[in-house]
């Protein structure tokens, strides 16, 4: 074995050890979760991620229970590898959707869109699945773990879709070194393997990636949607802006387009009508809430990239072409492993003997 190949083998073994907890939790070869994306994460992308060694997660979004059952069965037909289902906490049929996951023996259920109650977590776990939830703070993470969450996702403001206010790096530093009770997966702005490595070294069990999988060859998103991602740079992925605190807007990160411009004018117009007494505040709030109804589907499925919602994270700047899922995952892993190998070689050349790796490369030192 040459020095280079033994360093590479040691780097690969080191990476396996670093995300062992995440891999064991998910039952996968890599601890990379494909973040559920409404309309995007359906059977084709999810099965492709799982078949390539990651962990695909079906987006249930606003699906009815019978639609979810069909989508789970459709995904099973395309992969025999583990995958999960993402449910939205405030979905009116949440309990029935959990029951579908139980009947279909889904291994992992991820609850998004707010903190799930202990009863929800119990319902998931009683059916034999592992329950995952999003932790916005260390305290909330601790409480979720105590109330039965088997693993957590922390998602920074760089992410695509609905976002919190805190950056991934700060959330990770606040939570990862402290919260060891359950595996924690880091999401938001993860676009290269070196970044994955840095979060693993801070204590993450794995990562969740959304934006980078949108332009996967296997993804059914409309070619216009993919082209918008390929053309965009990080600064084009902007959070929606609330212009009046009386009319709250849940921040969503998406590529700026005609619809996002119109949303500002629309808010101004609704607020003026409320202020002049033409409509009530509740009616105004409802109008603002409804502005984006159906907009993600319009962009992802119909390809209307000007009037639809182009939800995307800042890592969109790292999306440069359409690629098969297996290539995206291989690229991320190669970047993490070469960073580890480079570090060990640098260390060895500095000290003459040492290595930053926990174990010296087989046969090399």
Ligand X SMILES: Cc1cc2nc3c(=O)[nH]c(=O)nc-3n(C[C@H](O)[C@H](O)[C@H](O)COP(=O)(O)O)c2cc1C
**Got the DSSP string for 76-108?**
HHH-SS-EEEEEETT-TTHHHHHHHHHHTT-SE
**Whole-angstrom Cα distance, residue 28 to residue 207?**
13
Q: Which is nearer to ligand X, 37 or 249 (CB)?
A: 37
Q: Which is nearer to ligand X, 284 or 313 (CB)?
A: 313
Spatial CB neighbours of 82, under 8 Å, sequence gap ≥ 6: 26, 27, 28, 50, 55, 107, 108
CB 290 within 8 A of CB 276: no
Q: Which residue is nearest to ligand X (CB)?
A: 210
Pick out residues in 203-242 that bind ligand X (CB under 6 A). 208-212
Residue whose tokens read 């990770």: 172
Smallest gap from residue 271 Cβ to ligand X (A): 28
Q: Which residues pair with 153 in a beta bridge?
A: 134, 185
Q: Which is nearer to ligand X, 11 or 100 (CB)?
A: 100
Of 26, 32, 48, 59, the one binding ligand X by CB under 6 A: 59
Q: Which is nearer to ligand X, 84 or 284 (CB)?
A: 84
Pick out residues in 235-294 that bind ligand X (CB under 6 A). none
Smallest gap from residue 280 Cβ to ligand X (A): 31
**Whole-angstrom Cα distance, residue 190 to residue 147?**
28
- Of 283, 300, 332, nearest to 15 by C-alpha is 332
If one asks whether residue 120 binds ligand X (CB under 6 A), the answer comes out as: no
Total residues interacting with ligand X, rule: CB under 6 A: 27
Stretch that binds ligand X, among 136-144, 169-177, 182-190, 193-201 (CB under 6 A): 182-190
Site string for ligand X, 190-209 (x = CB under 6 A): x-----------------xx
**Whole-angstrom Cα distance, residue 9 to residue 18?**
14
Q: Which residues bind ligand X (CB under 6 A)?
A: 35-38, 40, 59, 61, 86, 112, 155, 158-161, 187-190, 208-212, 311-313, 315
């Amino acid at each position: 074995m040459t020095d280079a190949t033994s360093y590479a083998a040691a780097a690969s073994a080191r990476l396996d050890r670093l995300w062992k907890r995440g891999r064991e939790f998910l039952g996968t070869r890599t601890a990379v979760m494909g973040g559920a994306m409404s309309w995007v994460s359906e059977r084709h992308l999810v099965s492709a991620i799982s078949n390539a060694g990651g962990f695909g997660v079906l987006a249930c979004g606003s699906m009815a229970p019978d639609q979810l059952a069909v989508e789970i069965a459709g995904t099973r037909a395309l992969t025999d590898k583990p995958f999960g289902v993402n449910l939205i906490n405030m979905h009116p049929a949440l309990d029935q959707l959990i029951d579908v996951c139980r009947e279909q023996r889904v291994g992992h259920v991820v609850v998004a869109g707010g903190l799930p109650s202990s009863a929800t977590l119990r319902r998931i776990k009683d059916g034999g699945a592992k329950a995952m939830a999003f932790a916005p703070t260390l305290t909330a993470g601790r409480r979720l773990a105590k109330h039965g969450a088997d693993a957590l996702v922390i998602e920074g403001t760089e992410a695509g879709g609905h976002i919190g206010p805190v950056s991934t790096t700060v959330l990770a530093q606040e939570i990862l070194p402290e919260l060891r009770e359950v595996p924690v997966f880091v999401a938001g702005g993860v676009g290269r393997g070196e970044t994955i490595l840095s979060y693993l070294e801070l204590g993450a069990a794995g990562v969740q990636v959304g934006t980078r999988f949108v332009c996967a060859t296997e993804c059914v998103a409309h070619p216009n949607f993919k082209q918008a991602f390929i053309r965009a740079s990080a600064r084009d992925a902007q959070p929606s802006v609330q212009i009046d605190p009386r009319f709250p807007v849940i921040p969503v990160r998406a590529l700026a387009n005609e619809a996002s411009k119109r949303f500002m004018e629309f808010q101004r117009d609704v607020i003026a009508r409320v202020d002049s007494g033409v409509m009530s505040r509740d009616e105004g709030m409802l109008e603002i809430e409804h502005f984006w109804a159906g907009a993600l589907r319009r962009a992802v499925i119909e390809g209307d990239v000007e009037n639809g919602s182009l939800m995307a994270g800042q890592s969109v700047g790292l999306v440069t072409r359409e690629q098969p899922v297996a290539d995206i995952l291989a690229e991320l892993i190669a970047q993490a492993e070469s960073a580890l190998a480079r570090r060990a070689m640098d260390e060895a050349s500095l000290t003459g003997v040492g290595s930053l790796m926990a174990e010296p490369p087989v046969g090399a030192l």
